[in-house]
Amino acid sequence: MAGSRDDRARADGFRGAPRTRIWVQHVAVETDKLQMRVAAARARGMLTEHEKVIAEGVWRFADKARAAAFRDDPIPGNIANWWRGTLVEAAYRNMHAARAQIIDLYSSEELRAEIPMVVARANAALHRDDPRRISIPDLEAEPLGSQRARMRRIVGDSYEQLDLKHAQLRSFRNILLIVAGFIVAGVVATLIFVALNPHLMPFCFPRQITLNTNPSPTAASDQACPTSSGLGAHPSGADVLVVAVLGGLGGSLAATLSIRNLKGTSTPYDVPVALAFLKVPLGALTAMLGLIAIQGNFIPGLSALDSQGQILAYAVIFGFAQQALTHYLDAKAQTLVEDLPGGAGNEPTPPDTSGTLSRPPGTT
């Protein structure tokens, strides 16, 4: 009866969370493996009262991880879950706690077999200069009692550090999206206002042409605008839309180039997408501000633009130029990604090859 109830609960859980979510399947498989190991330890029939309490706790942690992955408990809204990572955090933190505590149920043979994985996980999760990192020979030299406690602590610290890094990555993504949202709102408001009042923020530049109708040439006023050029050209509501679109294209190009330099990760938080979402509206904004700066003679060395093609080209260039403002954000994203397992921030410290420093004292 208990087994059938568990099967029904699990089926209900799968209906609550899409099977297509890879992390859900990962949690399902890993929690089944943990509970299988607990059942195997109980089947040996030699658990102490202390170990029985741990076995029950590991089983509960696995159940909580599965319930979070299957959207049984907690049950957040879709937007809140995406923003806060509620289900991902709850599922993985419970699963990581179960993995750390199950070490107390391993036999001596299983414990020795787990040492390489524990060391590898610690080296992947902890920074290369973290003093908590340990080597396989050092861990194998520990007595059995302290070795078990040391391994449990290392596994717990490794997973805690990994969870914190993923939380930092999610927070960084959310900050990018908040800033991008404010910029989008500002750009949309500007587009609507200028489109309705094109003469308040014109993107037209005067130029001089020579009329050959008289023997002595005279100068006549002429304008070049983003959507028109010539004697009849005048500011229109479409000018700001064209400038914003071209600036957004320049921002898209910058986003493509910056994403190319970011390494891929297995994290469920799409930081490169958030960066791209920020760069596109920021490109539209910098394109509009850049043309206004040229019109006001604010940028030294740039004269008035005298053709429609030049205006459009400068709109794209200014849209791409926002990369100078967002370069720091790209570097920050790269740092956060490299601190995740497999990143450059977790690579082993290179050995000292400077000569005498690598030799024991008293040797030649």
Query: DSSP characters for 51-79?
Result: HHHHHHHHHHHHHHHHHHHTTSSS---HH
pLDDT band with cut points at 50, 70 and 90 for residue 224: confident
pLDDT band with cut points at 50, 70 and 90 for residue 1: very low
Gyration radius of the chain over CA positions: 31
Q: What's the Cα-to-Cα distance from 103 to each of 87, 110, 149, 162, rounded to whole Å?
A: 25, 9, 8, 19
pLDDT band with cut points at 50, 70 and 90 for residue 221: low
Among 112-126, 200-214, 228-242, 273-287, the range scoring the smallest mean pLDDT is: 200-214
Pick the more confident residue, 172 or 344. Answer: 172
Is the pTM for the entire model greater than 0.75? no
CA distance 195 to 181: 21
Strands, DSSP E only, in 106-180? none
- Give the residue from 88, 232, 69, 71 showing the smallest Cα distance to 173: 88
Going by the DSSP 8-state scheme, the letter that residue 359 receives in this structure is S
Neighbours of 339 (CB within 10 A): 20
Structure tokens at 254: 């910058």
Going by the DSSP 8-state scheme, the letter that residue 344 receives in this structure is G
| pLDDT at residue number 301 | 61
Pick the more confident residue, 341 or 170. Answer: 170
Peptide bond connecting 202 to the previous residue in cis, omega within 30 degrees of 0: no
DSSP3 helix / strand / coil % (the chain, rounded to 5): 70, 5, 30
Q: What are the counts of helices (DSSP H) followed by strands (DSSP E) for the chain? A: 12, 3
Please count the residues of the chain.
364
Pick the more confident residue, 300 or 326. Answer: 326
> Would you say 286 and 280 are in contact if contact means Cβ atoms under 8 Å apart?
no
Among 24-28, 225-229, 264-268, the range scoring the smallest mean pLDDT is: 264-268
Give the SS3 label for residue 219: strand
Structure tokens at 316: 């794209």
Is residue 276's pLDDT more than 80? Answer: yes
* Residues pairing with 230 in the sheet: 223
Per-residue pLDDT tens digits for 106-131: 988 989 999 999 998 888 887 778 88
In the chain, pLDDT over 90 holds for what percent of residues?
A: 35
* Residues pairing with 229 in the sheet: 224
Give the SS3 label for residue 11: helix
Residue type, 16: G
| C-alpha 233: how far from chain center | 46
Give the SS3 label for residue 346: helix
Is residue 206's pLDDT more than 50? Answer: yes
Give the SS3 label for residue 218: strand
